[in-house]
Structure formats: C-alpha cells, structure tokens
Structure 1
Amino acid sequence: MPPGNPGRFVRSLAAFVLLSAAILPAALEVAAPSPSAVIGPPAGPLADRAAPAPDRVDLRAPGAAPSVEIRRVGDPANRITLVLLGDGYTAGQQALFREQADRAWRALMDIEPFRTYQNFFNIRRVEVVSPVSGIVEGEGGRPTDTPLGMHFWCEGTARLLCADEAATARYAGEDEGPQYLIALANSTEYGGAGGTGVTTLSGGSPDAGRIIQHEIGHTVGDLGDEYDSAPTDSDYPNLSSMDADDMLRSHAKWWRWIGATSPDGGGTVGAYRSANGLYRPTADSVMRTLGGSYNLPSREAIIEQIYRRVRPVDAAVPAPGPVPGHPRLQVSPLPLEGPRQLKVDWTVDGRPVVSTAPDGSWLDTAGLALSPGKRVTVTATVRDTTDWVRDEAFRDRYMTRAVSWTVTG
C-alpha cells in the first residue's frame, strides 16, 4: 500500500444515510480498508494547535451545533442534502471552516456529472465547535477530545482519515429526504476517505477539492479505485475481471460503452488492465489520478445512484387526479445546469398535444375545446434524455415520471 494514499472502507452498511441520519446500524459490516487514489505526497505542515479551548460543554449532544442552509435549490424531500461538518475547529476557527467547506462543495460541483446535476443537491453546513484545534495526525497519537473523533492512521493506514460515524450523524440531524455526510478535518495533512457513512477530507489540504471529487465517487457512485495498487475487488461498476470481448459477449459491466470516446481524456472506452489484474474503462480518470474526470461508465453509475434517490419532477399543480374546471396543469421538472433540460411530453387520452409553454412545463386545458361532459385523461411525462446513460431499462424506471389528471368538459 503506497504511502500518502488515504483509503476507504468497502461496502459499509452506513454508506448512505436515509431520512433519519441519527439512526445507524449498531455494528457496521466493513472489510479491510483499501487505499483510494489520492496520488502524491502529503502536503503542508501540521495545523496550528495553539488556539485556546472554550469552556467545556456537552459537544456531543444532538442539536449542540448550529445548522446553516447555505444552498437550497428545491424541496428537501426530493433532493439529496450534502451536510458539511467540521472537526477540530475551535470557536475562533469557524470562519476557517466555512471557507474550507465552501471550497469543498464548489469543487465537487465543478466536475461532471455533478456540475450538470447540481440542482439535485441542497447543501447544509453544521458548525461544530471543538474544544481543541486540529485532530489526531500521527501514528499512535493520543486521541484529542474533538466532537467527531476524526483521526488519521485509521486501520493502520497513514492517510486514511476516519470519523466517529454515529457522532457525526447525531450532529448532522435529519432532513426530509436523503442526505450524505461530509466531514472536514482541521488539518493541512493529505488524506480522506469515501464509501462509508461519512465522506472525509482534510479541509486545509491544498488538494482538498480534488480529494472530495475522488472520494465522493466512492460514496455516491459506489465506484472502486482504478489505480494499480488497489485491492482486486471487481464488485464495482467501473472495475471488471473480464476483458472487453468477454464483457460484450456476456453483456456485463460497461459493455454498452465499449468503443465510445470518453470525455475524460482517457481515450476510447475499453478494458485497460491495471497492475493488480483488474480492468478499468479508460486509461485514466479521477478514480485513478486526482484532477482527472469521471469516465463514461462512472458518470452513468453516479447519475443512476442520484436517480435512485431523487425523482425527475417535483409536485405537480394542481395535484394529480380529477380537477374541476379547465385549469392550467403544470409540472416542475428538476432543472439541469446548461442548455439541456428534462423533456416534457403531453398527451390527452394518449394522443400527443403541444404545450404552449416555452419549456413545455404547463398545459392550458381551456384550449382543449372539450365538449360538455366529455372526460379525458391529461398526462405529462417528464424524462431525462441524457446520453450519459445507456441503460434504457433504468431510464424508463427511474429517470421517467408520468403525472395524470382527469379533466371534464
């Protein structure tokens, strides 16, 4: 295991925190950690630990830290909330935590597919005050009394940065919908972890933005590490024990993408053998080298995991079902960043009709010219047509939603 590489716990049962962030399994089934592809040497000196500790309070009590909604783009019940928490930041260092937290989530939203799908995420910050500055950094270091218990050398791996998942969940509290927890350590050391109940990174590392881009790939996309020294576990959407021909023959893994030109600079999607014997989709990606991009199979995996948690349309107005009079029927597709938006198709008793709305989001039923007493079913179908997904069965099941009303003339 090369030095300078933080790792991740594989297949933690707390990988995704649903609805009640305070409820976690009593015992997590975790395998031995594997290093993640944070390539390069540690950066920077140790964080300054000279800040005085505040008066002692029960810092681990639920609700002890203020929660700030810093970006709300839609109904939390139909968004994923990213909850950013800090550990080892004293009362006088909260401004530093805010700055580093903002830098982290903005870096995440600067990489595809998160850039395009950024409006599927609300962002909340929890300002946890620590009685001491900094976290445990050295091997065998004496634990400090930080609220989230963050420390390096987790499971004997130098750059594996772990947190107390139960304590982090208590501080995070609950949202109406799903949420992911991201814990920043007050450290300039180089490290992080992903794929567990808490994604971690060193808030003060010069590579913090690139680290979160890699680690969140584990957590959100369930992606594996693509570098040569990674463990030989192929149970990830971007890793395979089969070559390209075998994938095509068996319709396995990323077979739909074989031969496609990947936008990550890794060339054509195929099966590139790593030194550990596993195949990866492209020559390089962010899951192999920091600062890269997600290859196409990895982008698809991330988008699919997002859509398993978020519907493509918010509540319709009026509510679906029988409606009196001849109202304007409206749906609210989740907005994408960029020119491409979700597609909306309207039908009346199964026959296509054209919406006069510029974005197709509403239909004026007064213009249907229904004869008195005639009852029709009006349906709006919202669909994500992105070419970053090639699994059409998945698109039909998760990325398409139909809303229907009954209108009487």
Structure 2
Amino acid sequence: MNRTPKAALAAVALLCLTACGGGSSAPGPVPLTEASLSAPVEALQVSGDPANRINLVLLGDGYREADQAKLTQDARAWLAAFRQTAPFSNYANYFNIKLVHLVSAEDGAANGMHGLGTPRATVLGATFQNANPAGQAPDYRLLVVDNARALAVALARAPECTRVLVLVNDTNYGGSGGTIPVFSANPASCAIALHEFGHAFGGLADEYACGDTSPLPASLEAFPNVTAQPGSIKWAAWINPGTPLPTPAFCPDLGLFEGAYYHDTGVFRPRPSCRMRCLTDTFCEVCSEAIVRSIYNQVRPVDTLTADGGTLTLTRPVPLPDTFRIAWTVDGEAAGTGDRLTLPAGTHQVSARVVDATPLVRTGADRLADVRTWTSGGASVQADVLPARHRVVQVIRTPAGFQVAGETIVDLPLPAEPDTPAWTVSAVDPEGRMLFRAGIEDPTLLRGEFQHAEATDRIQGSRLDGSRPVSFLVRLPVIEADHLEVAANPGPRHPTPD
C-alpha cells in the first residue's frame, strides 16, 4: 500500500499522530513455529457470546518468557485507557478481548530501545522504520510487524477474532495503523492505538494536514469525517443553525473547518481538533457517531429472547450509560418496558422493539434497533429486523481468474504489469443494492469490513512483500451477496488511508 502522504508526516509534533503506516509489514518473513501457533491465551475481557461481540485479539511481540507478566500488565494498561476513552468507554461491553502470550527470543523491536541498526529476534518481526522520505531527517517512530504472521497467530489461537492489535515490548514511542494496528509499550503509545481504533471501527480518515498537494482519491467522500464538498455536508445534523460555513478557526462550534486528510486546503473537518487530528484530544461528535454506528454493524442490540413459562426475557449488551429503550407489545397493544415481560394466559403475538437511544448518534440510528417477535404457545422466536452480521471469505487468484471457496466468481486474465493494477471488489445484495465497492492497490493479503452503503470503500489492505497478489480476505454480511466481483484493471496509483 502506498504510504506517500503519510511519509511526510513523521516530523510533526510527538503527540499529534504522524506516520500511521497503512498496514506496513516488517521485512524478512520468518516461519512460525508450532509453539507460536499454540501460544497461551489469556481472556482480558469476556462480555458475551462471540457470535454477537467484537472479538479483539491482542498479540504481544518482543516479550521473552521472563516478560510474560509484563505483557499482561502492559495489555491491561491499554485496556484501562480503552475503557476510559469515549465512545469506546460507552461500548466496552460490546468487546471480547483476548491476549495471546507469544514468546520471543529477544525483547524489544529492531531499531528500538536497543539502538538504531540493532535487529531483534521476535515472533512477529517488530521493527521501527524510518517514515520520512530521502532528504529529510529520519524519524523512526513507524513501528510495524509482519501482518501475515500476526494474522496467522490470531486466527490459530482465536478463530472468532474480528480485530487484531499488536503490542510491542519496547520503551521507544511509536506505532502504526492499517490492517493491524501496532503500538509500543511506551505509555504514550496507547494513544496511537486508540486513534487507530477510529480508523478500524469508524472508518474514519485522518484529519491532520501536512501540506500534501496530491490529487484527492475518489473514495474521499466515503469517510464520514472529512469532505471536499462544502456544499453538501454529511454531518449537517450536528451543525447548529447560524454557524458560518466554512467555519473560521476561532469558532468554538462544530462546523466546517478547512484542512484535513493531509491537505491544508480543499478538505474540511467537523471541529478544530479531534483525536483523528491530534492524539491528546477527544473524538468529536461526528467521529464518535461513526464509531458507534460501525460497532452496531457487528453487534446486534439483542443477544437472545427466551421464554420460561409465562415470562419472556431479553439478554443484550449493555452500554454505559444504559441508553436502551425497550417497548413490548402483546397482540399489538403496548405491554411494558424492561428486559422481562410476563404474559397473560392464552395464545398471543408478542413483539419487543429494542433500540439504543444514545445521543451519540443522530443519523443512521436504524442500525441501533432490533425487533423480536414471539407467539406464545410454543412458536420459536423470530428476528424481524437484524443489522447485518459478518462472515469472512477468502478471494484467491488463480491462472483462470478469481475464486471464493472454490467457486469461480469472475474469469479475468492476470494483469500484465504487477506494479500497476488497481483492484476493485464489489458486492451486490439479492435486491440489487450495492453492499460495497472498493478500490484496493495490489494486495497480497487483505482484511476488510463491510460497513454500509453510506461508507462504501472501507476495505483495508496491505502489501506484505514484493510478490504479486495471491489472496485476500474480505468481510461480507451474513446475507448472501447475489453478485460478488473482483476485477483488476490498469490504473494510476493513489495514496490509500490506513
């Protein structure tokens, strides 16, 4: 993945996020051992059934056998920061979190606390890289690992994982984003990981500017927190009447502030500052909304609806504070609120509408609702309305074309030039609605996520080595796509956000 716009960012202030890496990989793949693929797993947080939770897997790298207690300590420090940072603090109960105790031969990362030019023998190959282009002072805060190895370990030790994060045992400050966020054990690096969660869960763009003048990608408007179209503001629901647009820098209100997505002009953001612009700030209202909506793309408001005699009981994830509103009806008439309902004798049609009425979401609140129906007298519980859940498919390139689970989905010749193809993945549901359409540059392995028709390009990928693309993973809704297409066409390369 091309990190051109990010490479110039590494020289800005320490606490304002710089080179996030876009899912870079450390050089020199090392075969994984059986010990690594069977490393001990510690449950840091269990909040519910993995089928209805975001399952985060945290991997330690550069931790020797003697450092495993420190790994737990460092991971819990990150978890404490996660639980204290809104809006993740509001929805911490929507996450299951596991820690994989990988044992490295040596501590630290290459080019890290042991000195520049010093390699380290670690399972995931953690390395501090220089993110600055030639001619600028080097900046070794871009901390990367081998994504292929990290993903292999995560899937081997926690097959249910939906997100992977890597914590590196090095005191130097640094980290990176993209497919697999990475951060060091330096306490200040936790802020990098939380920023990267903005990318991972909200599909958010970086809001900082560094004088980039490259052409804007066609996918820019898919990001919920930046726009190059000031005449059509996607976060208009958050702007108070009378706010000047564009908004001057001294204005304290949410509005339309120029300078974002690495560009000083022509791209706008909602507030003067936000965690997507500077690590010391909180997530703004627009970014918080996007994160919450994306969380609900993966977690339904209701876990189960069960019957015990004449009592129906809902179980559900509980946000903090609990902003759920539950409305029961019996035979079409309002019958109560709360997680339980006692039925009168006889046969009845029962419905429970569950909605998260959080003030953090003003648009797209339909994703936060769930409706369950039940017929007393033995009929099974049905879900009338369910937000899309996810499955993972692997798309494999073969000489004949592309395959998913052994079935050819499109028959295309391979591109003649390995360095020029622009890959496109798209899926359409059975009703003909576009689920997503995304451009990906030359991926060897790709983890992506279906977001929604309103965020059509959140497919994230990374080039793992110099070879031509072989396969990648794509998250799709559980509902079957009527048409899934992978195409490769020559085209110009464009910088891709992490």
TM-score scaled by structure 1?
A: 0.75
Alignment of 1:5-404 (within 5 A): 30-32=1-3, 34-35=5-6, 40-41=13-14, 59=33, 63-137=37-111, 141=117, 143-153=119-129, 158-173=140-155, 175=158, 177-196=160-179, 198-203=180-185, 205-229=186-210, 234-235=220-221, 236-243=223-230, 246-247=231-232, 252-259=233-240, 267-274=252-259, 276-277=264-265, 278-318=267-307, 326-338=309-321, 340-355=322-337, 360-365=338-343, 368-370=344-346, 375-391=347-363, 394-396=364-366, 398-404=367-373
SS in 2 for 1:313: coil
Q: 1:253 to 1:37 in 2, by over 3 A?
A: farther
How far has the Cα of 1:62 moved from its partner?
Answer: 5.4
Q: 1:165 to 1:60 in 2, by over 3 A?
A: farther
| Distance in 1 separating the partners of 2:236 and 2:165 | 33
Q: 1:80 to 1:37 in 2, by over 3 A?
A: farther
Maintained 8 Å contact 2:191/2:279: yes
| Distance in 2 separating the partners of 1:272 and 1:341 | 31
List gaps (5 residues or longer) in structure 1. Answer: 1-29, 43-56, 319-324
| Distance in 1 separating the partners of 2:141 and 2:34 | 25
How far has the Cα of 1:195 moved from its partner?
Answer: 2.9
| Distance in 1 separating the partners of 2:198 and 2:331 | 43
CA RMSD of aligned residues (A): 2.9
| Distance in 1 separating the partners of 2:95 and 2:45 | 8
Maintained 8 Å contact 1:221/1:301: yes
| Distance in 2 separating the partners of 1:306 and 1:210 | 20
Q: Give the AA of the match of 1:149.
A: G
Deviations 1:31-87 (A, max 9, x none): 325437996349xxxxxxxxxxxxxx9646553310011211111111112211111
| Distance in 2 separating the partners of 1:150 and 1:137 | 9
Maintained 8 Å contact 2:325/2:354: yes
| Distance in 2 separating the partners of 1:306 and 1:74 | 15
| Distance in 2 separating the partners of 1:192 and 1:126 | 19
Deviations 1:127-151 (A, max 9, x none): 1110011111269846533111121
TM-score scaled by structure 2?
A: 0.62
Deviations 1:82-133 (A, max 9, x none): 2111111111111221111111121112111111111001111111110011
Q: Which has the larger share of strand?
A: 2
Count of aligned pairs: 336
Maintained 8 Å contact 1:333/1:382: no
Higher RCO structure (Cα 8 Å, ≥6 apart): 1
Q: Give the AA of the match of 1:345.
A: A
Maintained 8 Å contact 1:312/1:334: yes
* Identity across the alignment (%): 33
SS in 2 for 1:240: coil
| Distance in 1 separating the partners of 2:143 and 2:240 | 37
| Distance in 2 separating the partners of 1:230 and 1:144 | 35
List gaps (5 residues or longer) in structure 2. Answer: 16-30, 133-138, 244-249, 379-498
| Distance in 2 separating the partners of 1:91 and 1:194 | 27
Maintained 8 Å contact 2:273/2:281: yes
Q: Give the AA of the match of 1:40.
A: A
How far has the Cα of 1:154 moved from its partner?
Answer: 6.3
| Distance in 2 separating the partners of 1:337 and 1:349 | 32
How far has the Cα of 1:389 moved from its partner?
Answer: 1.1
